[in-house]
Structure 1
Amino acid sequence: MKSSIAGKVVVLTGASSGVGEATARVLAEKGAVVVLAARSLEKLNRVAASLPGKHDVAALDVTDEQSTEAAIRGVYRTHGRIDVLVNNAGFGEFVAFDNAKLAQFREMMDVNYLGAVRCCLAAFPYMKEAGSGHIVNVVSIAGKLATAKSTAYAASKHALLGFTNALRQDCKGTGIRVSAVNPGPIDTPFFDRADPEGTYVRNLGSFMLKPEQVARAIAKVIERGTQEKDMPFISGFGAKLFQLFPKLTDKLLSGILNKK
């Protein structure tokens, strides 16, 4: 059966590796016109070369307002519309608070949160004019369930999830859908920077998601218009449990959650 994604113009940030690369492949296989966006055209062209069907690349730095606006404007001029925006760009650094630097907080907030905001601001007018569109923010379960050594990362993801939920309310009546995908740890190059000593990966390796799992979940969210997707199930359950019983959940799960 033909996917509802077929023929849609999808702008995907952070598309040069990891979850972004896997998502580009899944969407392209479903017939989407995927516009791969990231800072490095060289890396984007490498990914694009392996994709089926019609696709495009766009140099885009989510920390730069002019770069973001120019890239989104270029996509609209080339393809005539922007049906889906997937904000996937992001990074993390796991460090105890007493060793953290203010610069780390600034950089993670600038990329993980404001980067998505910049892309939304650039794409929103085109979607609003069309009376349709779908914004999918790849957040993290860390946006709901914070752990040790992640003060800066968790703060940026809490901000992004709050923004996503508020934006959904602002978009009522516009025809624009807004979704959040909240994955747990994923086996990607993300941890080369986040966990250079490999402690977290060694401790939670068997629980880590594969990029392809997250990519398929993102595709399903686009197809079904799901507002929010937590994964894996146990992480989403833990987050809901924490909201209801924070003291009990902290006591039960802190040994697992804080293995960094």
Structure 2
Amino acid sequence: MPSLKGKNIIITGASGGIGAEIAKLCAARGANLVLLARSIDKLETLKKELQSKYAINVHAQQLDVADPEAVKRVFAEVLSDIRYVDILVNNAGFGIFDYAHEAKIDEIKTMFDVNVVGLMACTSMVLPAMKQRRSGHIINIASQAGKIATPKSSVYSATKHAVLGYTNSLRMEVADDNIYVTAVNPGPIATNFFEVADKQGTYVKNVKRFMLQPEYVAKQVVNRMMTRTREINLPRWMSPGSIFYSLFPRTFELFGKRVFNQK
């Protein structure tokens, strides 16, 4: 594993879940961190914890990635302080499970603003300097939902399909600039994501035994930082499933119908 000591790493959605776990692992390996999220209180608590344990620099700033002007302002402030970014982890995101005909337009727009447009906006703020330095790593937290669509997640799945399309195109664009671009596609993770996504608790109850732990997902991500890793698919057994789905979608949907209807 490449050393992360002294690397400058920005993590969005760092106030909890895999974002916070990624921050802890990076700090343990000597990286300097910029923690971004809407909940500044949680960020400050995490900042104090990390700085008390490790001899690193930690910045914590409030940011709603759905606000393009706020993204410009906060990233400009951050870059003036740390000068350059080695790794950007686009982790901010959320989902709401609803049938397509029940999805509310304002929630649809917000999901796209956070999961897609916000991710693109943050990326655009660090890319010019990465290209100039000919070094950097963009890590986009997508989802298995971006590979295999399921009922009651049409909007969320659409946002993650968009993230994967953007990530794959970006990877080709910056290949000659020595910039790495990685998509992370986890299955369900045991975080507070489902407090919003699955208000009835049906999905969590049905898939609880298959849920990934955030510490495990974070470790897989951090272990591949500053490496030319195209995708991280978790759990690993889901990867063959997404390949089969792309080759034989009708068959996959027919025989997988019972499994898909877990929400």
Task: Tell me what 1:43 maps to.
Answer: 42
Task: Tell me what 1:259 maps to.
Answer: 262
Q: Provide TM-score, normalisation by structure 1.
A: 0.96
Aligned residues: 259
Q: Aligned partners of 1:155 and 1:24: how far apart in 2?
A: 28
User: What's the offset of the Cα at 1:21?
Assistant: 0.9
Mean Cα displacement is larger for which, 115-124 or 60-69?
60-69
* Partner-residue secondary structure (3-state), 2:182: strand
Q: Aligned partners of 1:179 and 1:84: how far apart in 2?
A: 11
* Partner-residue secondary structure (3-state), 2:84: coil
Task: Tell me what 1:159 maps to.
Answer: 162
Task: Tell me what 1:21 maps to.
Answer: 20
User: What's the offset of the Cα at 1:234?
Assistant: 2.0
Q: 2:200 aligns with which of 197, 201, 205?
A: 197
Task: Tell me what 1:243 maps to.
Answer: 246
Task: Tell me what 1:30 maps to.
Answer: 29
Task: Tell me what 1:148 maps to.
Answer: 151
1:4 and 2:3 are equivalent in the alignment: yes
1:79 and 2:82 are equivalent in the alignment: yes
Task: Tell me what 1:176 maps to.
Answer: 179
- Runs of 4+, deviation exceeding 6 Å: none
* Partner-residue secondary structure (3-state), 1:4: coil
User: What's the offset of the Cα at 1:110?
Assistant: 0.6
Pairing 1:84-103 to 2, within 5 Å after superposition:
84-103=87-106
On the 8 A contact 1:132/1:176 being kept in 2, the answer is yes
Q: Aligned partners of 1:236 and 1:74: how far apart in 2?
A: 39
1:43 maps to a residue whose letter is K
On the 8 A contact 2:12/2:89 being kept in 1, the answer is yes
1:25 maps to a residue whose letter is K
On the 8 A contact 2:2/2:227 being kept in 1, the answer is no
* Partner-residue secondary structure (3-state), 2:64: coil
* Partner-residue secondary structure (3-state), 2:237: helix
What do you get for the CA RMSD once the two structures are aligned? Answer: 1.3
Task: Tell me what 1:56 maps to.
Answer: 59
1:225 and 2:224 are equivalent in the alignment: no
On the 8 A contact 1:134/1:222 being kept in 2, the answer is yes
On the 8 A contact 1:9/1:81 being kept in 2, the answer is yes
User: What's the offset of the Cα at 1:219?
Assistant: 0.5
Mean Cα displacement is larger for which, 142-151 or 230-239?
230-239
Q: Aligned partners of 1:221 and 1:180: how far apart in 2?
A: 11
Q: Provide TM-score, normalisation by structure 2.
A: 0.95
1:225-252 Cα deviation digits (max 9, x unpaired): 3111111012222111101111221123
User: What's the offset of the Cα at 1:214?
Assistant: 1.0
User: What's the offset of the Cα at 1:74?
Assistant: 1.9
* Partner-residue secondary structure (3-state), 1:10: strand
Q: 1:126 aligns with which of 116, 125, 129?
A: 129
* Partner-residue secondary structure (3-state), 1:157: helix
Identity of aligned residues (%): 41
On the 8 A contact 1:131/1:176 being kept in 2, the answer is yes
